[in-house]
A and B are shown apart, each in its own frame.
Chain A
Amino acid sequence: GEDVEQSLFLSVREGDSSVINCTYTDSSSTYLYWYKQEPGAGLQLLTYIFSNMDMKQDQRLTVLLNKKDKHLSLRIADTQTGDSAIYFCAESWYAGNNRKLIWGLGTSLAVNP
């Protein structure tokens, strides 16, 4: 079945690193995504990783993919108060012509000054 799981809450101090974890079930997923949602706003694409990659780095963001364990993580270095938001993990799903994203429930990140 299709399922994406994330821990619901994470609290860090400003300046520390944040690590948000996600597990997924569909081993055929080609792309995995991280989106950020600030209160009352839409979803902002942060980064994505192709399934044949182990790691992707983009400025303060590092994505690690363990395909064997179906585990994805997002590390935010030097976390700032502006990083406080909900972070969603999503996996791509294909069946014939049908394509969609399967979403986790989101991890609420609180950054304390």
Chain B
Amino acid sequence: DTGVSQNPRHKITKRGQNVTFRCDPISEHNRLYWYRQTLGQGPEFLTYFQNEAQLEKSRLLSDRFSAERPKGSFSTLEIQRTEQGDSAMYLCASSKGEIQETQYFGPGTRLLVL
């Protein structure tokens, strides 16, 4: 199966620590998206890439958040100095970048900040 994969699936960290998540998109997809989802909510858009270029960042993405996609393939999302409010499911999706913008999601990384 060559779907979207994310690692790790779960992460527990202490407040103030840095964490990094990885997303591997479907191989021929040139767009990659990061979302955050909290309990009872829909996905909140964080940022997206077309190839290696980061085209949009949400206002939700504070200075503590940074995302990269250096070679236009996998992407990393880093959260520095984590806070309890960062606890959420972080979802990655990829798409072909055509007009018909179907996004395919990975299983998510669930973060718990203690």
Contacts and interface: CB of A to CB of B under 8 A. Distances in A.
B110 A103 contact: no
A43 B101 CA distance: 15
A112 interface: no
B105 A100 contact: no
Interface string B85-96: 000000101000
A97 B108 contact: no
Contacts, number: 56
Q: Is the contact region of chain A dominated by helix, strand, or loop, or is it mixed?
A: strand
A44 B101 contact: no
B40 A92 contact: no
Contacts of B41: 105-106
A42 B48 contact: no
Contacts of B101: 31, 92, 99, 101
